[in-house]
Every structure is written in structure tokens, then in C-alpha cells.
Structure 1
Amino acid sequence: MTETGGEDDRVLRRETEQVVNETAQGRRTPDEGTTWFSSLSLMDRQKVLREVGGYAMQAHVTAADGRVGVARSGVKPTANPSVMICMDPPRTGFADLPAAEHVTAFRVLVAVFAVADTRRRETYCKGACGHGWHHLSTAADQP
């Protein structure tokens, strides 16, 4: 059974959603996203990796998305997170990787999520989408 995390976990989830989507949509650089991620505690990095892995799976990431995302991420294709996301079907469990691999896992997951989510925004959600995270520019540009 999973514990409910309370207000701190809700804040972290909202912040994760904002940072990851801004990074995936080019409103924040990958280095800015990585700097934010690197500032988190080990436990929070693991929570974020689980959350972002979930985003990627919800975007229906494919092995092809994985290859494109890995190339964009700057992470070596032989790194564990790169290999995991490029499998068919892509693997999960990034939070279970050694702490030394968390930053590379975050970079890979965000880059791959960007590829898959862009595809979905341009196909399934085009013109009829109610997902708030697909409308960051509209929300962010309002006073």
C-alpha cells in the first residue's frame, strides 16, 4: 500500500508537472530543468523520476521516440536510462537506478517525453485538447 504524501508531495508533483512540461515545450532549457532536478533530495529525485516516467507512458512513448529523445538528450545511447527507454516496449523503473544515474535518467525521460508528447499534441489533441499542460504558452502569456 502506498502512503499519501501530504502537501509536500502535492507541491512537488505540481512543480514537477510545470518544470517538465516547460522543458519539453522549449520554455525552459534542458539545463534549467536539470539544475532544478539536481537540487532535489534523493527521495524527491526518485519521486520525480516515477512521475516523469508516468508522463512518458501516458504519452504512449515508443522505442522510436526513445531513440530520438536520447539523441536530443545528450546522454550516451549506452547509458542505462537510454537503453531502458529504447527497448520495445520501453522499460520503466528509472527511480530504482543508482543515484549516480538519476540526472541522466531525468534528461532522457524529459527528452523522450518531449518527443512523444509533441506527437500527441500534433495528432490526438490537435484543436480539441483540454489538457492544461498542452496550453502553457496561453496560460503563461496572460497577465
Structure 2
Amino acid sequence: MTGPSSDDDHAFRREIEQVVNEIAQGLRTLDAGVEWFCDLAPAHRREVLQEVASYAMQAHITAADGHAGVARSEVKPTANPSVMICMDPPRYSFAGLPTAEHVAAFRVLVSVFAVADAQRRATYCKGVCGHTWHHLRPANEQL
């Protein structure tokens, strides 16, 4: 029995990157992103949580970003993913949460990433950014 090819893995990582950055940039709603996430197999959901957690780490989120993102996420501030992301330093082991908490974890992670990434695009990357994921176009404009 063979597993997925490295090309499949790369394509899936690119899909994650596309979806998460579209949400972060307001080109896709969080609810549409959650729908995409819910359509994935549980193993792929864990992979998405790991990937988005790494995006959040790379964006250097702060506790303030965590609180702002949780408020956007519509997840209770007392839920495990909310508490984890607001810790100082944040905890990123979302893929290890019970399956029942994965949707809340996705909502929190993507929302917090959106807050931190918007700040990066407005400051650090403003006018000089070469990151392709910071220059997405709406899906109806992409050919």
C-alpha cells in the first residue's frame, strides 16, 4: 500500500496556504473557510491545524493578537483553543486537541493569524513585501 505522493502533499500545503491567506485578507469568509475545513478528513484537519499554527508562529503573534483573534473567531474565550492562543507565550499544539475541538481551533488559529498578519502587511511588509501570499487576488480575478 502506498501513501500520498510528495506532489499531493505539496499541493495540499499550497491549498492550505491559499485558503488561510484568503481568509486573513478578507477574500474568503471565516465561515467559508470552516466549511472547507469540515470537508477534510480528520488526518488532513490535524495537518491544517499544524500548518496554521506554524503560520501564527511565523507571524510572531502576541497575547494581544490572541485576544483580538479570539474575539473575531466567535469561539468562547474559555474554550481550550482560545485559552491556549492567549497564553504568554502562546501554545501551538492544536492538532493534539480532541477531534471535537478542531473546528474551534481552526477558527481561533485563522482569526489570530489574520490579526497578526494584517499588522505585518501594514508595517514590516508595507511597500517592500515580496511574499506572494500577501498579494492574493480575489478568486474571481484569478485566471
Please give the range of the TM-score, normalised by the shorter of the 2 chains: over 0.9
> After TM superposition, where is structure 1 displaced by more than 6 Å over at least 4 residues in a row?
none
The answer on 1:85 being equivalent to 2:85 is yes
Is this contact kept in 1: 2:27–2:138, CA < 8 A? no
What is the percent sequence identity of the aligned residues? 68
Aligned to 1:28: 28
> Residue 120 and residue 80 in structure 1: after superposition, are their counterparts in 2 closer, same or farther (change >3 A)?
same
**What are the within-5 Å matches in structure 2 for residues 10-21 of structure 1?**
10-21=10-21
The 8 Å contact of residues 84 and 91 in structure 2, kept in 1 or not, is answered as yes
| Structure 2 portions without partners, runs of 5+ | none
Distance in 1 between the 2:49 and 2:43 partners?
10
Distance 1:107 1:120 in 2: 20
Superposition RMSD on alpha carbons, in Å? 1.7
Report the alpha carbon displacement of residue 142 of structure 1 after superposing the two structures with TM: 5.7
Matched with 1:110 is: 110
- 1:96 is matched with 96
Tell me the secondary structure at the aligned position of residue 78 of structure 1. coil
Where does residue 51 of structure 1 map in the other structure?
Answer: 51
Q: Which moved more, 1:6-15 or 1:51-60?
A: 6-15
Aligned residue identity for 2:71? A
Where does the alignment leave 5 or more consecutive residues of structure 1 unmatched?
A: none
- TM-score of the pair, normalised by structure 2: 0.93
Whole-Å separation in 1 of the counterparts to 2:133 and 2:112? 16
Secondary structure of 2:126 counterpart: coil
Q: In the superposition, relative to structure 1, how do residues 127 and 96 fare at CA in structure 2: closer, same or farther (>3 Å)? A: same
Q: Which amino acid aligns with 1:60?
A: H
Q: CA separation in 2, counterparts of 1:35 and 1:115?
A: 21
Q: 1:89 to 1:79 in 2, by over 3 A?
A: same
Residue 42 of structure 2 aligns with which residue? 42
**Aligned pair in 2 of structure 1 residues 38, 123: CA closer, same or farther (>3 Å)?**
same
Q: If the length of structure 1 is used for normalisation, what is the TM-score?
A: 0.93
